[in-house]
């Protein structure tokens, strides 16, 4: 069973005997025109006489995999959160989509706290896990939410019952963000999105200045990413 959009695109590309990039481009274009990920892949499969039942994503398994990674190790989870927090405010290709970030925060708040220093993670491991979380969360929201050209417009018809509440929350928060409002990830106060820093209200941002989050060395994660979480080394020296 495919857990991420990338796994799914690799599978259909190999079944069709076409390069991954070509398939990714076709699916991206369909999605930019408001088609859902699975819809786009399934119509591609049908067009080419493939059985569309082979191209599904089990959203619950995707969700379980996110939870599994977030429960592994406290420091690792903290660092993943810090990187994603920066990426959601980034511009251009490195930008982590806001709906995926909302899903991430919700799952993060629902998992039990990871054990401290369960393992000594290397920067490569953190990178890999961050990339994996990006892939899993972007996939999850593209499957459980209903999309249009404008972005998330509701809950997907085939969203599993267990994930409907999450999909509704992602939708609500996305609507709020689109109307220029934001709820501070630290204190929960609703503020103007223009006044936020690193997704926090100004007051929390000032308080956070010497906290552990701002001390996380973001230079440990310096790769470029796109929506499917592929990475390419940046030129930044270490
Ligand atoms: Zn705040």
User: What local confidence, expressed as pLDDT, does residue 190 receive?
Assistant: 86
What's the 223 CA to ligand 1 centre distance in angstroms?
29
User: Model-level pTM?
Assistant: 0.80
| Domain extents in the chain | 5-54, 59-232
CB 17 within 8 A of CB 48: no
Q: What is the pLDDT of residues 216-225, one digit of tens each?
A: 444 444 444 4
User: What local confidence, expressed as pLDDT, does residue 197 receive?
Assistant: 76
What's the 44 CA to ligand 1 centre distance in angstroms?
45
Compute the distance between CA of residue 192 and CA of residue 196 in angstroms, rounded to an integer: 7
Longest dimension (CA), the chain: 58
Compute the distance between CA of residue 201 and CA of residue 183 in angstroms, rounded to an integer: 8
What's the 236 CA to ligand 1 centre distance in angstroms?
33
Between 67 and 192, whose confidence is greater?
Answer: 67
pLDDT band of 209, cuts 50, 70, 90: low
Compute the distance between CA of residue 144 and CA of residue 138 in angstroms, rounded to an integer: 10
User: What local confidence, expressed as pLDDT, does residue 211 receive?
Assistant: 53
User: What local confidence, expressed as pLDDT, does residue 13 receive?
Assistant: 94
Q: What is the pLDDT of residues 70-98, one digit of tens each?
A: 999 888 999 999 899 888 888 787 889 99
User: What local confidence, expressed as pLDDT, does residue 224 receive?
Assistant: 41
What's the 17 CA to ligand 1 centre distance in angstroms?
51
CB 194 within 8 A of CB 180: yes
- State yes or no: pLDDT of 52 exceeds 90: no
Q: What is the pLDDT of residues 113-147, one digit of tens each?
A: 877 876 777 888 899 999 999 999 999 999 999 98
Average pLDDT over residues 20-34: 89
What's the 43 CA to ligand 1 centre distance in angstroms?
44
pLDDT band of 177, cuts 50, 70, 90: confident
β-bridge partners, 190: 183
User: What local confidence, expressed as pLDDT, does residue 231 receive?
Assistant: 40
Contacts of 84 (CB under 8 A, 6+ apart): 96, 101, 104, 130, 133, 134
What's the 181 CA to ligand 1 centre distance in angstroms?
13
User: What local confidence, expressed as pLDDT, does residue 41 receive?
Assistant: 93
What's the 193 CA to ligand 1 centre distance in angstroms?
12
User: What local confidence, expressed as pLDDT, does residue 230 receive?
Assistant: 38
Average pLDDT over residues 203-214: 66
What's the 15 CA to ligand 1 centre distance in angstroms?
49
According to DSSP, residue 221 is labeled: -
| HEC-encoded secondary structure of the chain | CECCHHHHHHHHHHHHCCCHHHHHHHHHHHHHCCCCHHHHHHHHHHHCCCCHHHCCECHHHHHHHHHHHHCCCHHHHHHHHHHHHHHHHCCHHHCCCHHHHHHHHHHHHHCCCCCCCCCCCCHHHHHHHHHHHHHHHHHHHHHHEEEECCEEEEECCCCCHHHHHHHHHHHHHHHHHHCCEEECCCCCCEEEHHHCECCECHHHHHHHCCCHHHHCCHHHCCCEECCCCCEECCCCCC
User: What local confidence, expressed as pLDDT, does residue 136 receive?
Assistant: 96
Between 52 and 131, whose confidence is greater?
Answer: 131
What's the 187 CA to ligand 1 centre distance in angstroms?
4
What's the 69 CA to ligand 1 centre distance in angstroms?
27
What percentage of the chain reaches a pLDDT higher than 90? Answer: 45
Average pLDDT over residues 7-34: 91
Residues with CB under 5 A from ligand 1 (ion): 184, 186-187, 201, 204
Count of residues making up the chain: 238
- State yes or no: pLDDT of 214 exceeds 80: no
What's the 79 CA to ligand 1 centre distance in angstroms?
20
């Amino acid at each position: 069973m495919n857990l991420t959009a990338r796994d799914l695109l690799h599978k259909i590309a190999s079944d069709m005997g076409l390069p991954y990039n070509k398939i990714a481009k076709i699916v991206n274009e369909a999605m930019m025109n408001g088609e859902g990920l699975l819809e786009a892949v399934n119509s591609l499969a049908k067009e080419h006489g493939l059985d569309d039942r082979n191209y599904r994503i089990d959203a619950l398994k995707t969700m379980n995999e996110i939870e599994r990674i977030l429960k592994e190790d406290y420091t690792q989870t903290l660092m993943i959160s810090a990187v994603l927090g920066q990426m959601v405010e980034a511009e251009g290709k490195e930008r982590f989509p806001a709906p995926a970030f909302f899903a991430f925060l919700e799952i993060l708040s629902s998992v039990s706290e990871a054990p401290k220093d369960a393992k000594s993670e290397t920067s490569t491991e953190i990178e890999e896990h961050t990339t994996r979380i990006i892939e899993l969360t972007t996939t999850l929201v593209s499957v459980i939410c209903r999309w249009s050209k404008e972005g998330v417009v509701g809950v997907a018809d085939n969203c599993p019952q267990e994930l409907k509440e999450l999909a509704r929350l992602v939708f609500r928060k996305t609507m709020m963000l689109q109307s220029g409002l934001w709820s501070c990830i630290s204190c929960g106060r609703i503020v103007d999105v223009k006044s936020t820093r690193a997704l926090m209200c100004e007051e929390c941002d000032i308080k956070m200045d010497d906290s552990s989050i701002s001390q996380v060395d973001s230079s440990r994660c310096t790769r470029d990413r796109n929506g499917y979480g592929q990475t390419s080394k940046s030129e930044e020296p270490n």
